[in-house]
Amino acid sequence: MKAIGYVRVSTEEQATQGVSLDAQTEKIQAYASLYDIEILEIITDAGVSAKTLDRPGLEKALKMLEAGEAEALVIVKLDRLTRSVRDLDYLLEKYFADRFSLMSVGEQVDTRTAAGRLVLNVLMSVAQWERETIGERTSTALQHKKAQGEYIGGVGFGYQVADKKLVKAENHKIVEIIVQLREQEETLEAIAKRLNESRVKTSRGGRWYAKTVSNIINREHEFLSKNGGFL
């Protein structure tokens, strides 16, 4: 079997014994020799965090698999591939469920075997369980905050959160002007033009458009209706 080796260290890990690039390379080569695997190339991501899959080395390795240059990816440990449950689930589902083989020296994962596929399924199940558990905890925490009277929604233009409550910000007067102009039957386009000519910036520092103005008005009406007509 032709395979690609993949090694990674973050900036903090570069000198760590057992995690260094040289140590990982040696383990992959020894593993390949033991199981008669031909390593075409060992691809490196040096000084790169595993918080994202946007890594030059990993992208190259996955493209080589897609191009049919190799059939498997060999790593020393799963955390060299990713530390994110979501990203691991994505990689397993898109690449290693049935298209290519994944071999991890540390976890003894080899998806060519029934035992390896079993471990893979367990990992995917655990990943799903962790996602659902995190979702439940987040939901419970948000419900608790809501019960305590804390504001948990988004913060629109003209508002801010102070003492865990949604209150008017200094620029709320702009919102009041927008609503007033609209009540005077001025068009959304005309209001946006006024704001741009006055060099008023949106919450993101950009230009105003009819849709932006409409969103502000709708959000203001929603806030007022939820708070008895005032904040």
* CATH level 3 topology of 2-131: Rossmann fold (3.40.50)
Cα distances from 111 to residues 5, 120, 165, 205, in angstroms, run: 15, 7, 52, 50
Edge to edge, the sheet with strand 72-75 lists 38-46, 2-9, 72-75, 101-104, 109-110
SS3 24: helix
Tens of pLDDT along the chain (231 residues)? 999 999 999 877 765 656 789 999 999 999 999 999 999 999 999 988 888 899 999 999 999 999 999 999 999 988 899 877 778 878 888 898 788 999 999 888 888 888 877 877 777 677 667 767 877 887 777 777 677 667 666 777 888 888 777 778 888 889 999 999 999 999 999 999 999 999 988 877 888 999 989 988 988 887 777 665 544
Catalytic machinery residues: 10
Domain ranges of the chain: 2-131, 159-226
